[in-house]
Amino acid sequence: MTQAEGRQELFELGVRDAALEYGVLLSRVETQVSRLDEGVNAAVLQLSIFLENTKGRLAEVLNLLADLGVNVRALSLADTKDYGVLRLMVDSPEQVAEELRQKNCVVSLTPVFVLEVPDEVGGLVGVLNRLVPEGVVVEYMYAFVEKAREKAQVVIRVRDNQGMEKALKKLGLN
């Protein structure tokens, strides 16, 4: 094992330990999913990049993504004392993850749901109020607006993907 591989492995272990401490669930890919454009109200893969909390690291990673020709459709950045988690919606997340790993970035792919919600006051809460009675537990979420659509979209990580799929189907949201 090279020094860089050892450092990455230790960083990954530290990230997972810290994430568990802060209640963040880092999961492995559970399902094969489609591109974001095809994924409204369906499961898609979210790319997470783990960043050291150092000056310029976020810009460095975003420059790397730009150099790779990656179109970032949505992002969310969360931080802890020692690291940040940059969650991204990108086209071809599996390919981007592999390219980033080759550049020694610590990444993971997580199935999340992209839901279309009315872009109006109470639009999101209206959808959540329908999902809660179905037992859907939201772990985290972030929102974005697509220019081509007249509705807002939210990225939602849930505890039970199959339960979410059943709820979406039952409620006619799929």
The alpha carbon torsion through 102, 66, 85, 82 (nearest 10 deg) reads: 80
The rounded percent of the chain whose pLDDT value lies above 70 is: 74
pLDDT reported for residue 12? 52
Residue 82 confidence (pLDDT)? 81
pLDDT at 8: 52
CATH code for the domain of 70: 3.30.2130.10
DSSP state of 40: B
Percentage of the residues of the chain whose pLDDT score is greater than 90: 50
Contact of 42 with 114, CB cutoff 8 Å = yes
What integer pLDDT is reported at residue 89 of this predicted model?
A: 94
Q: How many domains does the chain have?
A: 1
161 burial via Cβ count (<10 Å: 0-12, 13-18, 19+): middle
Q: What is the mean pLDDT of the chain?
A: 79
Q: Locate tokens 């039952």: which residue? A: 170
Domain extent for 71: 3-170
* DSSP structure string for 86-108: EEEEESSHHHHHHHHHHTT-EEE
| Confidence (pTM) | 0.71
Q: Which residue has the higher pLDDT, 143 or 6?
A: 143
DSSP letter string, 14-30: HHHHHHHHTTPPP----
Task: Render pLDDT for 57-110 as a digit per residue (tens, 0 to 9).
Answer: 999 999 999 999 999 989 999 988 888 999 999 989 999 999 999 999 999 999
Q: What are phi and psi of 49, to 5 degrees?
A: -120, 130
As a whole number of angstroms, the distance between CA 159 and CA 136 comes to 8
Question: Which position has the higher pLDDT, 133 or 118?
Answer: 133
